[in-house]
Amino acid sequence: MSLRSDRCVDSDKGCLRESKPVTLANVGDNVHAIVKFNFPARLFGMLGMLLLSWHLLGVELLSVSNIWILLFAVTWPGIARYVVPRFINSKKAEHFNLSVDAVFSAFYALKFPASMVLTALLSFNASNSLVSAGPKLLVRNLFLLTATFGAGLLIYGPLKVMSLGLLGEVLAGGFTMAYFCLCSTFSYSMAKRLVHSKNEVEERSYLDELTGCRNRCFFNLFLPKEFARAERMSYPISVVFADLDHFKRVNDVYGHHVGDRVLEGFAALARSNLREEIDWIARYGGEEFVIVLPGCDTREAIAVADRIRTQFTFHKLMHEKSEIRSTCSFGVASVRPSETNKRVIEDLLHRGDKALYQAKEAGRNRVEAAC
């Protein structure tokens, strides 16, 4: 079972995508998750077999000819969970365990040749094989079970069908139903974990690792969606380009690790001035950021940009005995929803970038708006 997840790698030119599978194998720690998944189910199944065996054999279950049932049922779930994965590749460990289950099921069916028992064992093995590795393992283990059972018939001859009695039928049927309820519960839980894991991977793929802002990939993918929403809801949308002034000088004088702290400080300050769940900021590349303000016209966007600019002007970073202060220039551009299309989006970004350039040319540490 696997879910595909596209991973975005931030790039100044856009985003690079690489497919990364999120599978049961990478949910959990070192042990393959299917081994954990089947452990309680296997334990429950063995308990059912023990109870049915005790009902049919009584104290004879402890005799030399039957003690193998008790020993296997008591020891095998623990061996399958904790011992086998230490000696076999974790991905293949449960495949081996399920093959052992199939062979044991065949011997158990030979010992208790009742139609209810055989049906239950076939169902258990089929469901576990399908959940663990799909149809290929299902076919292999069912073949192994039937081949072992057939070999037993050749050796011992035709078997007399056993009657389980009312209590035996109730035990076999009840445990079969309870077993499938247990497996369904675990399957549902595992599916939720997989979806959660996939969502986490996708969320991280859209974040800039240094600043915690959205990255260029997120910007390229979601800006058109913001425009489409603005058009549906009939409100304006603004973009604010921000570029830290003389940032190269900070890196050259104090080092890139200090430059990183300056970027982190600006990103945190900018986010604190934005509306939660509405506005968002993306790192566009290097020391350049883009703030997206849905529902804001040019005047409101200028106010937001100027508030961030003023606060950042007084923001200081202490490094050793030095006090580092930086400034930032902003370019603002807005558009009405009736104008939204791909060409206008590109034009808006061009106008915002041009306004930023004008702010730089006019002396930096200022806000300029596009015409």
Last residue of a domain, one of 203, 228, 260: 203
CATH number at residue 229: 3.30.70.270
Tell whether 185 and 291 lie within a shared domain: no
Confidence of residue 32 (pLDDT cuts 50, 70, 90): low
**Which pLDDT score is estimated for 337?**
65
In a domain, 284, yes or no: yes
| Distance between CA atoms of residues 239 and 156, nearest Å | 82
Segment 55-84, tens digit of pLDDT:
888 888 899 888 998 998 889 888 888 887
pLDDT at site 46: 87
Whether 227 is covered by a domain: the verdict is yes
- The reply to whether 257 and 341 lie within a common domain is yes
Tell me, rounded to whole angstroms, the distance of Cα 251 from its chain centroid.
36
Q: What is the pLDDT of residues 190-249, one digit of tens each?
A: 788 888 888 888 888 899 999 999 999 999 999 999 998 988 888 999 999 999 999 999
Question: Domain check: are 285 and 307 in the same one?
Answer: yes
* C-alpha to C-alpha distance for 272 and 212, rounded to whole angstroms: 13
Catalytic annotation on 339?
no
Mark whether 220 and 165 lie in a shared domain: no
Residue at which a domain ends, from 176, 203, 230: 203
Long-range residue pairs from 76-81, CB within 8 A, at least 24 positions apart, any chain: 76/42, 76/46, 76/100, 76/104, 77/39, 77/42, 77/43, 77/46, 80/35, 80/38, 80/39, 80/42, 81/35, 81/36, 81/39, 81/42
Q: Please count the structural domains in the chain.
A: 2
pLDDT digits (tens, 9 = 90+) for 98-137: 888 889 988 888 888 888 888 888 888 888 888 777 888 8
The active-site residue, picked from 226, 287, 288, 368, is 287
Q: Are residues 194 and 231 in the same domain?
A: no
User: Do 163 and 41 share a structural domain?
Assistant: yes
**C-beta neighbour count of 160 within 10 angstroms:** 6
- CA R_g for the chain: 33
Residues 138 and 199 in one domain: yes
* Single residue among 143, 170, 203 that ends a domain in this structure: 203
Residues 45 and 116 in one domain: yes
Look-up of token digits 């028992």: 117
Report whether 35 contacts 77 (CB < 8 A).
no
Quick check: is 19 in a domain? no
Per-residue pLDDT reduced to its tens digit, 327-371: 999 999 999 866 556 688 889 999 999 999 999 999 999 999 997
Whole-number Å distance between alpha carbons of 361 and 345: 24
d(CA 42, CA 131): 13
- DSSP structure class, residue 207: B
Check whether residue 66 and residue 159 sit in a common domain: yes
* 323: in domain: yes
The domain in which residue 107 lies consists of 26-203
pTM: 0.59
